[in-house]
Structure 1
Amino acid sequence: MLLVYTHKITPRINFTFKHLCTRILGIPVRFTTTIEEFIAHDSFKMSYTKKPLGNEVFIRSHDLLFEQGLSDPDLNVTKWEDTKCFFFTGDKSAIPFDVFAASFYLLSRYEEYLPHVKDEYGRYGAHESLAYKHNFLKEPVVDIWAYKFKSVLEANYPNVEFPKRKYSIKPVIDVPAPYDFKLKGLMRTLGGNIKDLFAFNFKKLYYRQMVLFGLKRDPYDTFKYILNKQKQTGFKFHFFFLIGDFSTYDKGISALRKDYVSLIKSVADYCRVGLKVSYFAIEDKSILKKEQQQMEGIINTSLLETRNSFSKLNLPDLYRNLVELEVQDDYTMGYVNELGFRAGTCTPFFFYDLDYEVQTPLRINSYHVIDSALLKNVSLLDKKESLQYIINQVKRVNGEFVPVFHNYTFSGMGQWKHFKELFNIILDSTENDK
């Protein structure tokens, strides 16, 4: 166990040290403010304060982890060895940056509480982020910093054995609509036919009729393929089904339809099933609770996982609602237009409520790749290279890779051609790590 001396133990310190030391490096950590206890401890220890007590491992602290509420910290991002960092602390510190304060800034999503411009869906965009502006969005810097800290500890305590974690994947399958043509009802089907007709899209009109008469498979109905892939891998897929009401934003299928309920139940036999929170439920707790109860009625167990429609996050309100409804995991943290690490990490972490200064039980599983972001690459080769780059970054720190694909991604039609091949790259990426 690592003993950490600090002049003040705060919830921020507890949260940050436990993420870097315990969740990433596998080291239990304990804190003390008593100098005598620290000096008497003759094994694994370090100090995190303004001045060293002796010759111990010393990390000079920035003020951020001792503050409450929001401030306007000076963020001077500079190059550090093979990565970047901020909160420079000087050469007297074992590490020239306060990696704990920097990690807290990214993990708490501190910058998302500060004034920023939202996009058309009310989302925080990648272009607003510190990581994007300083070109480290595609690096899991928090995990990289943790490993640099580990190197310092190993140099000072060569006899301490550190547990080794293994690279893993957690594929997410997002289902905003299980079918393109089926189960849409008379009015929506009629409207779709008229729309195709006036747009002279006779190919789609023909395909729609073939599907409705049972002569072709619906292009969004890729569940058999996905479940076959699930049976071939040891990592559980995480499905998120939309069951919210039809609206301007969400155009799914009613959860009252028996065929849709049967589909969700059949997927739940092999994979983890969670709720895709509808656009209006993100803002309205009563709608969210209704959708939670509907999904629990379908899967006959407690709802443990959620992911938001359009990957929209309204911090901190939505996460507070999930905590109150006892949801354990969320998979919304990420950017729909950019690959990378929105919270700077590829290790699941807990939501820290900056307003109440408390770590909550809600675990955040940030995603690092989403199919829509891969579309920015025109050629298949560029898509493969972009995907492989992120995979390699996660492997660099033996982290957990979370990609998001949609059921329609596997249709192979139009822009989704070759995406099955990209998904196979992800599944095969664990072969050398078993």
Structure 2
Amino acid sequence: MLLVYTHKISPRLKYVFKHICARVLGVKVGFTTKIEEFIAHDSLKMSYTKQQLGNEFFIKSNDILFEQGLSDIDIHIHTWENTKCFFSIGDKCALPYDIFSASFYLLSRYEEYLPHVKDEYGRFVATESIAYKEGFLHQPVVDIWAYKFRKALQKQFPDFKFPERTYQLKPIIDVPSAYTYKLKGIMRTLGGTFKDLFKFRLKSLYTRFGVLLGFRHDPYDTFKYLINRQKTSHFKFLFFFLIGDYSTYDKGINPNKKKFVSLIKHVNDYSHVGLKISFFALEDDVLLKKEKVRMEEILNTNLKASRQSFSKLNLPETYRNLIALEIKEDYTMGYVNHIGFRAGSCTPFLFYDLDYEVQTPLKIVPYHLMDYALLKHKSLLDKKKVLNEIMHQVKQVNGEFVPVFHNYTFSDDTRWDGFKELFNLVLNSPDEV
């Protein structure tokens, strides 16, 4: 166990030390304010306070871990070997930066509580983040800093053996609508038909009636392909089905359709299934509860995981609503149009509520790439290069890579040409480590 001496054991301090030490490095951590207890400890130990006690492993503490609420923090980014960091603390410490305060700033999403410009869906966008502005969005800096910390500790305690973690993969399949034409109901089918006629989309019209008459395959119905890929993969896929009511933003399948329910059950036999929360349920806890109960009735088990429609998060309300309904995990932390690490980490972490100053039981599993972000790269070669680069970053720290694809990504639509090959590249990546 690593024993940390500090002048004050705050909730923030316990939260971030447990993430870095226990979740990233696999080492138990304890805390003390008593010098005698610290001196008597005969294994890993360090002091995290304002003044060094003697010659011990020491990191000078920044004030952020001992504060409450939000304050106007002055942040200066510096280059640190192969990465960047902030909260500089000088050369006399074991590390030149207070990685714990910097990690807390990123993991708590401190900057998302501060005033910022939102997009048309009300989302915090990558270009507003310190990671994007300072050029380290592409790196899991929290994990990189943790490994630098481990290296420094190992130098001071050469006999201690750190556990090794392995690279993990968790492919996400987002299903906003399981089908293009099937199970849409008479009114939506008629509406779509008239729209195709009005806009002279004859190919779409032909495909629509081919699907409805049963002699063509529905373009979005890629589930057979996905289940076959699941059967050959060591890692479980996680499907998120939208079962909310039809609205301006969400145009999925009616969850009362028996064939749709059968599809969800069938997918659940091979993979994991979570709830894709509808856009309007984000701010309506009654509607959210209705969708949760609906999914639990389909799966015949307690709902474990969720993802927000349009990857929208309202901090802290969104996460508080999930906690109130005892949803264990959320997979919304990421950017739709930018590849990278929104919270600076490729290790799942617990949500810290900055308003209440408390660590919650909700596990945040950040995603690092969405298929849409690859569309800006024209050639398949460029897409592969970018994909390999982000996976390499995760493998460097033996983290968990979480990419988000959609069921329609694997259709024959020319927009998604080559994405089956990219998906295979992701699935085969663990064999290349």
TM-score band (shorter)?
Answer: over 0.9
The equivalent residue for 2:196 is 196
Q: Distance in 2 between matches of 1:324 and 1:197?
A: 47
The equivalent residue for 2:106 is 106
Q: Distance in 1 between matches of 2:236 and 2:159?
A: 36
The equivalent residue for 2:374 is 374
Q: Distance in 1 between matches of 2:412 and 2:204?
A: 15
The equivalent residue for 1:240 is 240
The equivalent residue for 2:296 is 296
Q: How does 1:244-323 map to 2 (within 5 A)?
A: 244-323=244-323
Q: How does 1:33-432 map to 2 (within 5 A)?
A: 33-432=33-432
Q: CA deviation at 1:102?
A: 0.3
Amino acid at match of 1:19: H
- Corresponding residue SS for 1:249: coil
Q: CA deviation at 1:70?
A: 0.3
Amino acid at match of 1:164: E
The TM-score normalised by the length of structure 1 is 0.99
Q: CA deviation at 1:432?
A: 3.3
Q: Does the 8 Å contact 1:412/1:419 carry over to 2?
A: no
Instruction: Using the TM superposition, name which of 411-420 and 116-125 deviates more.
Output: 411-420
- Corresponding residue SS for 1:123: coil
Q: CA deviation at 1:194?
A: 1.0
Q: Does the 8 Å contact 1:412/1:420 carry over to 2?
A: no
Find runs of 4+ consecutive structure 1 residues off by over 3 angstroms: none
Q: Distance in 2 between matches of 1:15 and 1:415?
A: 43
* Percent of residue pairs bearing the same amino acid type: 66
Q: Distance in 2 between matches of 1:266 and 1:204?
A: 28
Q: Distance in 2 between matches of 1:340 and 1:280?
A: 27
Q: Distance in 2 between matches of 1:118 and 1:346?
A: 24
Q: Distance in 2 between matches of 1:155 and 1:404?
A: 39
Aligned length in residues: 433
- Corresponding residue SS for 1:351: strand
Amino acid at match of 1:225: Y
Structure 1's unaligned 5+ residue stretches are none
Q: CA deviation at 1:43?
A: 2.5
Q: Distance in 2 between matches of 1:282 and 1:272?
A: 22
Amino acid at match of 2:24: I
Q: Distance in 2 between matches of 1:411 and 1:431?
A: 26
Q: Distance in 2 between matches of 1:40 and 1:271?
A: 50
The TM-score normalised by the length of structure 2 is 0.99
Amino acid at match of 1:262: S
Q: CA deviation at 1:366?
A: 0.3
Q: Distance in 2 between matches of 1:315 and 1:85?
A: 24
Amino acid at match of 1:416: W
Q: Distance in 1 between matches of 2:160 and 2:321?
A: 42
Q: CA deviation at 1:376?
A: 1.1
Q: Distance in 2 between matches of 1:71 and 1:352?
A: 16
Q: Deviations over 1:179-223 (max 9, x none)?
A: 001001111111111111111111111111111111111000000
Q: Distance in 2 between matches of 1:218 and 1:136?
A: 41
Amino acid at match of 2:305: E
Q: CA deviation at 1:411?
A: 0.4
Q: Distance in 2 between matches of 1:409 and 1:13?
A: 42
Amino acid at match of 1:3: L
Q: Distance in 2 between matches of 1:31 and 1:320?
A: 28
Q: Does the 8 Å contact 1:220/1:408 carry over to 2?
A: yes
Amino acid at match of 2:171: P
Amino acid at match of 2:243: I
Q: Distance in 1 between matches of 2:383 and 2:189?
A: 35
Q: Deviations over 1:8-57 (max 9, x none)?
A: 00110111001101100001000000011112223310000111111111
Q: Does the 8 Å contact 1:308/1:332 carry over to 2?
A: yes
